[in-house]
Amino acid sequence: MIGSTTMTKVIARMLKQLQLVMLAIIAVIVITFVMIFVMTTTEVEKHFSSSTIHSWVSDVQADWFVHVIGTENRYFQMGETHTELPSATQLAFELTTSINLQEPRTLLGREVPGFSAFDAEIIVAGEGTDYTTMPMESAPPPGWYDETYPATPQDEEEEGPNVDIDADDDPIIHIVHTHDTESFLPEIEGDVANHSEINIVQLGKYLGEQFRSYDLPVEVSEHSIESRLHERGLSYSQSYDVSREIVTEAIDTNESLEFFFDIHRDSQPKDITTATINGEIYARTMFVIGQDHPNYERNLAMATELHHRLEDRYPGLSRGVIASGGAGVNGIYNQDLSPNSTLIEFGGVDNNFEELHRSADVMTDVIQEYIYEQLEEEE
């Protein structure tokens, strides 16, 4: 009788422990699904991420992942091209050191100061474009905003049209300037290529006027992002967060907007950002695409198409198309807001408005042709 009672207690205790284990397993499953739901439904720029894990994973070729998955699911091996898989020692070496023996930049990027700033991918290389001529982003010097840089007196023709471009009833093009104080040394006094009035916004307004000449309704943002950064105590690296507010507001106000262009000025010297074509001097252009959002391929397709059209008409004008992403860079440039969005670099610190306007004329002619083709396909 006593043995039977003891056995009953043991069984009851085991059942209770089993219940606790089952509850723990269920809790883990529920928590896992909740975490997956939260991480996959938040906006792209708010995703949880680890730069360390991202760095490790980015060092492994995609073909290797496909091969590993294919060992369990044969569907992934259908139509697979032959890829030479790494040895265990090679894979371990690359994962632990982040150095690819086939790519010297993976070593130099760590050892040479400033080299990592050029760690983007050249999708389409224009004439003379390589990793030494990649676009350079330079923030204004500390205290610049509180100082005054008087402009060099100019004739009205050289200054360019100062027109007030308002949004039409149904604008389809939006132009923004995330680094709105980027300026050009030939147009200002001093040796700092930033100015509160004579800057990249003037070129954006000129582009808007040219689009209007093709009967394309356009909205040009003249908001000073630099001022907003200063007022909020934000850093220069947060410029895209502020410009995102402007673009998002524009989309909410005008549902007709379809094409978005962020206009910039490069910091490379004149020999890299200038081309002489048919006896005329042009400020060269470059397209920059962010890779860190799911649909970047559509942005890339548009930029690549525009580059090729520029090359067909004015060989050497476009410096090419580059894609940027990964830890330590923006990698989005707000291009996730529209598949028809791109960042365009016009010229560099040593170009003047005359050279910039020539390039803008060609660029708007190419873009308007592309836009009209897209609109016809939508009908």
List pLDDT tens digits, range 308-325: 999 999 999 999 999 988
Residues 324 and 360 sit within 8 Å (Cβ to Cβ): no
Q: What's the CATH number where 231 sits?
A: 3.40.630
Task: Tell whether 32 and 65 lie within a shared domain.
Answer: no
In a domain, 148, yes or no: yes
Residue 135: inside a domain:
no
Mean pLDDT of 115-133: 60
Q: Tabulate helix, strand, coil % of the chain (nearest 5).
A: 50, 15, 40
Residue 74 has pLDDT above 50, yes or no: yes
Lowest mean pLDDT among 91-105, 136-150, 195-209, 325-339: 136-150
Range of the domain at 7: 2-41
Considering the domain architecture, whether residues 238 and 335 belong to the same structural domain is answered as yes
* Domain assignment of residue 133, yes or no: no
Which helix or strand (DSSP H or E) is residue 280 part of?
strand 280-283
Task: Give pLDDT, residue 264.
Answer: 96
d(CA 243, CA 248): 8
- Position 143 pLDDT exceeds 90: no
Q: Is 14 contained in some domain? A: yes
pTM confidence score:
0.67
Q: Are 287 and 322 spatial neighbours (Cβ–Cβ below 8 Å)?
A: yes
Position 266 in a domain: yes
Strand partners, 275: 282
pLDDT tens digits for range 251-267: 999 999 999 999 999 98
| Total count of domains within the chain | 3
Handedness of CA 164, 167, 171, 173 (dihedral sign): positive
Q: How many CB atoms lie within 10 A of CB 324?
A: 20
Whether 335 and 356 map to the same domain: the answer is yes
Asked whether the beta carbons of 263 and 176 are under 8 A apart, the reply is yes
Gap between the Cα atoms of 348 and 356, Å rounded = 9
- 247 in any annotated domain: yes
Mean pLDDT of the chain: 79
